[in-house]
Structure 1
Amino acid sequence: METTGPHHGSKVALFLGDRLVSILRDDFPHIHFPNLWDLPGGGREGDETTFQTVARELEEELGLILPQTAVLWESAFPSSTDATKWNAFFVAQMSARAVDDIVFGGEGQRWALYGMEDFIALDNRVPSYGGRLAKWVAETGGLAF
Structure 2
Amino acid sequence: MATGYSPRRGGESFDGAKAALFLGSRLLVIRRDDRPGISFPGALDFPGGGREGAETPDETLAREMREEVGLEMARAEMLWRRPFDSATGPGKVWFFVLRMGSEAESAIRFGDEGQGWSLMAPEAFLAAPDAVPALQARLRLWQAL
Does TM-score exceed 0.5, indicating one fold? Answer: yes
Query: 1:69 and 1:40, CA in 2 relative to 1: closer, same or farther beyond 3 A?
Result: closer
Q: Which residue of 1 aligns with 2:124?
A: 118
Equivalent positions of 1:49-64 (< 5 A) are: 49-64=56-71
Equivalent positions of 1:88-103 (< 5 A) are: 88-103=94-109
2:26 to 19, 37, 43: 19
User: Is 1:39–2:46 an aligned residue pair?
Assistant: yes
1:2-54 Cα offsets, whole Å, 9 max, x none, are x9851100000000000000100010011111000100000000111101101
Q: Which residue of 2 aligns with 1:10?
A: 17
Equivalent residues, number: 136
RMSD: 1.5
Matches of 1:109 and 1:133, distance apart in 2: 22
The Cα shift of 1:124 comes to: 0.6
Residue type of the alignment partner of 2:30: I
SS at 1:46 equivalent: coil
1:85-139 Cα offsets, whole Å, 9 max, x none, are 0000000000100000000000000100010000111111111112101111122
Q: Which residue of 2 aligns with 1:143?
A: none
Matches of 1:26 and 1:129, distance apart in 2: 17
Structure 2 residues not aligned, in runs of 5+ = 6-10
Kept in 1, the 8 Å contact 2:76–2:100? The answer is no
- The percentage of counterpart residues that share the same residue type is 46
Matches of 1:98 and 1:64, distance apart in 2: 8
User: Is 1:130–2:136 an aligned residue pair?
Assistant: yes
Equivalent positions of 1:73-88 (< 5 A) are: 73-82=80-89, 84-88=90-94
Kept in 1, the 8 Å contact 2:76–2:99? The answer is no
